[in-house]
């Protein structure tokens, strides 16, 4: 399988498949395809697997595209302005992604629900209790809101992040939520009541323009009735 990513603020992902190769996405995630491609929509994991994906922000069903001949091409486009992040996951390697971040992957990659262990993270983490665990082996692609910033945290190294700016992180990274300190910071800081704490070791991918922030900014400019 080969791929190319083109564009700037509205990137497009083209995946070139050779005969017998497959790529899957959530239902409705494909933009267009060329060549001889067979489409098959099903519900991997049965009803419980579909419900888990729905809770994690994806669709009940997944669609698999199989190349029936060489030089087939399937194209995917993000739902909002941002970047497409390709990751090649080794066998057993996992990343934890925010809701709606998963775009598509080659066969062999597994999707699962990731429940946050601490109730504070679930209540105040900005994305609810449920995230997605994406595991290798295989190539996986993710939608990032705005630009993407990749950081490598050493063991014990900590970064504090507005929860909406977290796109995904390696499973080795610890994720918790803490309250913003200081009454003036809470009342006038404009950063919300809570910050996420990510503790290494592992990689973290941050996004510069959370979709929720964009929606709120647009809503603030709309005329009131």
Residue 156: Cβ-neighbour burial (10 angstroms; 0-12, 13-18, 19+): exposed
pLDDT of residue 217: 77
Whole-number Å distance between alpha carbons of 125 and 29: 26
pLDDT of residue 130: 72
Vertex 85 angle, CA 81 and 86, to 5°: 145
Domain boundary assignment for the chain? 2-218
pLDDT of residue 125: 44
Whole-number Å distance between alpha carbons of 108 and 24: 10
pLDDT of residue 164: 87
pLDDT of residue 172: 96
Q: Does an H or E element contain 138, and which?
A: strand 138-145
For each of the chain's 225 residues, which pLDDT tens digit applies?
899 999 988 899 999 999 999 999 987 789 999 999 999 998 655 444 545 545 545 566 899 999 999 989 999 998 888 999 999 999 999 999 988 899 999 999 998 887 665 544 444 444 445 788 999 999 999 999 999 999 999 999 999 998 889 999 999 999 987 766 644 444 444 455 678 899 999 999 999 998 877 777 788 888 876
Whole-structure pTM value: 0.82
pLDDT of residue 60: 65
Whole-number Å distance between alpha carbons of 73 and 52: 30
Residue 220: Cβ-neighbour burial (10 angstroms; 0-12, 13-18, 19+): exposed
Q: Which of 42, 59, 41 is nearest to 51 (CA)?
A: 59
Number of residues that this document lists for the chain: 225
DSSP labels, 16-33: EE-TT-EEEEETT-EEEE
pLDDT of residue 195: 81
Which ranges in 119-221 belong to alpha helices (H)? 119-124, 183-188, 211-221
Q: Which CATH superfamily is domain 2-218 in?
A: Mitochondrial biogenesis AIM24 (3.60.160.10)
pLDDT of residue 44: 56
């Amino acid at each position: 399988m080969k791929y190319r990513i083109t564009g700037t603020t509205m990137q497009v992902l083209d995946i070139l498949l050779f005969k017998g190769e497959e790529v899957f996405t959530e239902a409705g995630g494909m933009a267009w395809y060329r060549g001889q491609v067979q489409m098959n929509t099903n519900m991997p994991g049965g009803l419980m697997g579909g419900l888990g994906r729905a809770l994690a922000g994806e669709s009940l069903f997944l669609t698999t595209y199989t190349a029936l001949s060489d030089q087939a091409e399937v194209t995917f486009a993000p739902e909002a302005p941002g970047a497409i992040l390709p990751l090649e996951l080794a066998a057993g390697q996992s990343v934890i992604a925010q809701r709606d971040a998963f775009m598509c992957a080659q066969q062999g990659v597994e999707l699962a629900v990731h429940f946050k262990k601490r109730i504070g993270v679930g209540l105040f983490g900005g994305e609810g209790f449920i995230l997605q665990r994406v595991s290798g082996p295989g190539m996986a692609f993710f939608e990032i809101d705005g630009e993407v910033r990749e950081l490598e945290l050493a063991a014990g190294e900590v970064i504090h992040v507005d929860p909406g700016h977290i796109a995904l992180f390696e499973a080795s990274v610890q994720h918790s939520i803490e309250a913003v300190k200081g009454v003036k910071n809470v009342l006038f800081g404009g950063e919300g009541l809570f910050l996420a704490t990510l503790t290494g070791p592992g990689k973290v991918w941050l996004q510069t323009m959370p979709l929720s922030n964009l929606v709120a900014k647009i809503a603030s400019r709309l005329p009131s009735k």
